[in-house]
Structure 1
Amino acid sequence: MTVTTGSRVINLDGVYGSGKTEFIRRLYIELATRGHPVVYIDVWESDFSTNPLAVICSELLQQIEYVFKEKTQNGKIVERRKATEVFDKLKSKLGICLQYAAAGLQLYGDTSSASELATVGGIVAGTPELSAKPKPRELVEIIQKNHIEAVQAIKEIKGHITFLSHLIKSIYELNIPIVIFIDELDRCRPSYAIEVLEVIKHFFETEGCTFLVATNTEVLEHSIKAVYGSEFNAKFYLRRFFDRKVKLPQVSVLDYLIARQLDFDKYKSDYIHLFPFTKNYKKNISVFAALFESNRIELRGVEQILNRFFASLEYVASTRMSSDVAINTIVLMVGLIEQHLEMSELVRRQNSSDLSFSLNLDNNTNLPLAQMVDVMFKCVMQKSAKKEYLGHNQFREYSTFQPMLGIKSIDFRTIDIFNGQDDAEMFRSLLSKSNEGSDCNYWMWEDHKKIIELSGHIQ
């Protein structure tokens, strides 16, 4: 990847949970490895702030100053002094703008915002803070006196940043431009998100400084309309700020899960038996991916659900008493997705309930997902029947309806959803662990539900 030295404000567009933050973090590391000064700002963390100028100034100065303090200093001493001198001038000019904004806010009675700006302005400019309660006439005089200076300071800020970037290249042998990542903008308050873009445009859009702004751009457009009205042309408005727009492609959930290298085998030593895939747990991944994609779970949601899935297994492994435990992974995952989507079936369903699902079990893969989920829940729920299938071509008939494991109420030899021979072997293994006298704690649906409800509180 090549980064040009000219000014760029690039919009990285992606839906919620599409991996924008992960992409930015990897790109941050890649560019730092290639010798670019990089700055990362999560603007949502500062959404409580009243002015993004103070936030961006503080982060930019703090992270760029790291270059001066931590990187190996090369070149002549006079050049290093020149870089420090320019950096101090940049701080001073930013301080002037911050204090100018603070004076204006105090004039309009916003003392909390003014205090915040004046404090940051005092730090970067080395000048005293404004009086807590100045008179209105004095404030007007301050604004009149400093207005021209503030406008000139904005122009000089751009020049200082450009010059500083070239000094960084010549003295510290780093590449330019300085790359600034702005993350989580679309999660901010609408007014704050707009102000962040205005600050970038007016203060920092200059040669030697490139911005990559990660947003769900459609959501950002709605934020703009929330401020300026539903008829406002938000798309056209954003063109003022973004030179280019890069669309983050939709990530395959299956590819993402494969890349995660999920480890199921580690639980074998913890006396946890995971079904239905007793030999090839990697089959879990394809089923999980189909469930996620069918129900349009974004990657952030996928990550949250996976964390709860493995937190549940870790909890069972750490609290196991004497017997082994048999857990149905598909049942556990379906319940966790229902919890994530706040579906009522999770609460209403009991061991003896009739099966019903609000989840979308249609998918674009070759997996018989609906049948698979139905059969797996029959393995953990009770059914009343007169005929009980025992396996090995054996069954038992009763004169009256008897409660039994749901899978025993049907001829499971006819089920072919896990590739033939594996099906029969899996069901026979299940039956052996569910039978009375087994030393295995065979989990029914309500056992799964308990760990699902607990999963949100497990650390």
Structure 2
Amino acid sequence: MSILDKAKYEDWKITHNFENCKLDRKEYGEFLSSYLVGEKNGFVLNLNGSWGAGKTEFLKRMYTHLLQEKHPVIYIDAWESDFSKEPLTVITSELLTQIELFNNGIGSQENTKRLKQFLGKAIKATAVGVAGYASKKYLEDSTIGSNAMMKLFDESPTDFMTQLSSEYSQQIEAISKIRECLSQLAEVLKSNYGAEIPVVVLVDELDRCRPTYAIEMLEVIKHFFKTDNFVFLVATDTEQLSHSINAVYGNNFDSKQYLKKFFDRKATLPLPDIEAYLNATGISYSQYNRLQLFPTIFNGTTDQSINKIVSVLSTAYDLHIRDIDQLMNKFQSCLRAAMNTLEKTGNAQYINIPALLIGLIEHDKSQDVYEKRTRYYSPEPELSKPNYAISDDFLSIDFIKQSMNNITYSKHISKDRWGESETNYLLPKSAAFRTEMQSSTTQEYQNFLGQSMSNMQFDSRSGCKYWNWDDMKKVIELAGTLE
């Protein structure tokens, strides 16, 4: 039986591996794994990734990959244990439980027993110190915690101080012994099962924890487990973690510099290829083929066009994987509503794909712009990357502004047959596109403009419903109730 078959999360070898990674992170995962196992002595690597970047999925795949490379791996979900008051207990419990699974008791009982004894001493000594610290910080009276611990140990004040000194000495000794035992347990894995060392500990979801708990866990990792044959990878939204630290120490505290004392190095999870991710998810829009969805650009099918459009918008608006998953869910709910309208009215439904997607994004990310937008007014979009080049003369800002203009009516004053002035509100006419069509050098931009023009002619035509902003706004706000 191999290391892979003894792991706590051995089922991840099927569900989470780099071969089925929709974000195509195999190359980076293998690179980071080889870098990490080349380190030693309690090396701590911070894997930085923003909210929704796919850190958990990546760590689970690293877990499987490292097992396949014969490295024992420990996975700890810090947020699951956030209810605990003592990170030391959580980490040691997971280390012991998961290492014992690998060892299966063979040749390690004595080391495990010794480790548990030393951990007990360390935890007991930590409890004394923590009680005073916590009551000082939160109750402004450190004696409250100390008095509580005195009752726990049933000692007089003099005896308590002696006990505290003794416990502190035992803790220092226990830390040293803990490191020694862990290192020996890793050697047992190597000799009994041919495992590769170091043992890799993956810590996930730390930035979701209570600020004090997150800090204490980092302290525990750095001080208790800086040992031979073990390395750590701690995945965080490091910016969010910095804010958590400031919540404890104050806004003037240099939290980013403070974090450097816990991490030996920092790696940043690369942004994924969104179009490849969407293609890999295999979402099919064939069930909506009775809807008139446009434009189909980049010489692609409806499915391919939607994925490309979402990829462009994700770059322009700086969307993350979790944002995109939610966006696609809401987008499909809007298409289902359109199908329902088609069934009830029998009118063909003409829907500008990018305009609907942009509206959904603004409703979630740019409320100020969304609230200003009307069927007669298209405000300037707020973009992270307005000049992202779709092609040579086709920028994301042009794509977004033109898409929204195509569902916005402008005021036109003309003369009726009797010479009287009349006011009409109309969508852009083909003349508005003529100059751009003539000056455009790329087929992508010309196709986009051409399809936009050809579909706008169905506005107000009998038996047809061309979706303007008011139509989209209704379903966008209904979809906004979904999370």
Tell me the residue number matched to 1:372: 399
Shift of 1:158: 1.0
Q: Is residue 477 of structure 2 the alignment partner of residue 453 of structure 1?
A: yes
**RMSD of the TM alignment (CA)?**
4.0
Distance 1:61 1:320 in 2: 60
Do the aligned partners of residues 105 and 236 (structure 1) sit closer, same or farther apart at CA in structure 2, a change above 3 Å counting?
closer
SS of 2:233's partner is: strand
Tell me the residue number matched to 1:245: 266
Q: Is residue 39 of structure 2 the alignment partner of residue 39 of structure 1?
A: no
Is contact 1:378–1:405 with CA below 8 Å preserved after alignment? Answer: no
Tell me the residue number matched to 1:176: 197
Do the aligned partners of residues 310 and 34 (structure 1) sit closer, same or farther apart at CA in structure 2, a change above 3 Å counting?
farther
Do the aligned partners of residues 131 and 371 (structure 1) sit closer, same or farther apart at CA in structure 2, a change above 3 Å counting?
same
Is contact 2:295–2:451 with CA below 8 Å preserved after alignment? Answer: no
Structure 1: which amino acid aligns with 2:295? Answer: P
Shift of 1:132: 8.5
Structure 2: which amino acid aligns with 1:101? Answer: T
Shift of 1:15: 5.0
Shift of 1:11: 2.6
Shift of 1:161: 0.9
Tell me the residue number matched to 2:206: 185
Tell me the residue number matched to 1:392: none
Do the aligned partners of residues 284 and 104 (structure 1) sit closer, same or farther apart at CA in structure 2, a change above 3 Å counting?
same
Is contact 2:42–2:229 with CA below 8 Å preserved after alignment? Answer: no
Do the aligned partners of residues 68 and 411 (structure 1) sit closer, same or farther apart at CA in structure 2, a change above 3 Å counting?
same
Q: Is residue 289 of structure 2 the alignment partner of residue 256 of structure 1?
A: no
Deviations 1:107-145 (A, max 9, x none): 7786xx9xxxxxxxxxxxxxxxx9996646386565455
Do the aligned partners of residues 14 and 81 (structure 1) sit closer, same or farther apart at CA in structure 2, a change above 3 Å counting?
closer
Is contact 1:90–1:160 with CA below 8 Å preserved after alignment? Answer: yes
Distance 1:314 1:141 in 2: 72
Tell me the residue number matched to 1:127: none
Structure 2: which amino acid aligns with 1:90? Answer: L
Deviations 1:219-262 (A, max 9, x none): 5556556655677666665454333333444x26xx23323316
Tell me the residue number matched to 1:51: 86
Do the aligned partners of residues 179 and 13 (structure 1) sit closer, same or farther apart at CA in structure 2, a change above 3 Å counting?
closer
Q: Is residue 377 of structure 2 the alignment partner of residue 354 of structure 1?
A: yes
The two structures have a TM-score, normalised by structure 2, of 0.71
SS of 1:39's partner is: strand
Shift of 1:87: 2.5
Q: Is residue 313 of structure 2 the alignment partner of residue 291 of structure 1?
A: yes
Structure 1: which amino acid aligns with 2:476? Answer: I
Shift of 1:190: 4.3
- Residues 157-166 or 133-142, more deviating: 133-142
Shift of 1:179: 0.8
Length, aligned pairs only? 418
Structure 2 segments unaligned to the other structure (5+ residues): 1-29, 139-148
From 331, 346, 351, give the equivalent of 2:355.
331
Distance 1:377 1:109 in 2: 55
Is contact 1:413–1:424 with CA below 8 Å preserved after alignment? Answer: no
Tell me the residue number matched to 2:467: 443
Tell me the residue number matched to 2:369: 345
Distance 1:40 1:172 in 2: 20
Deviations 1:320-373 (A, max 9, x none): 63445433221122112212324223234332x222124237313032433433
Do the aligned partners of residues 319 and 67 (structure 1) sit closer, same or farther apart at CA in structure 2, a change above 3 Å counting?
farther
SS of 1:165's partner is: helix
SS of 2:108's partner is: helix
SS of 1:354's partner is: coil
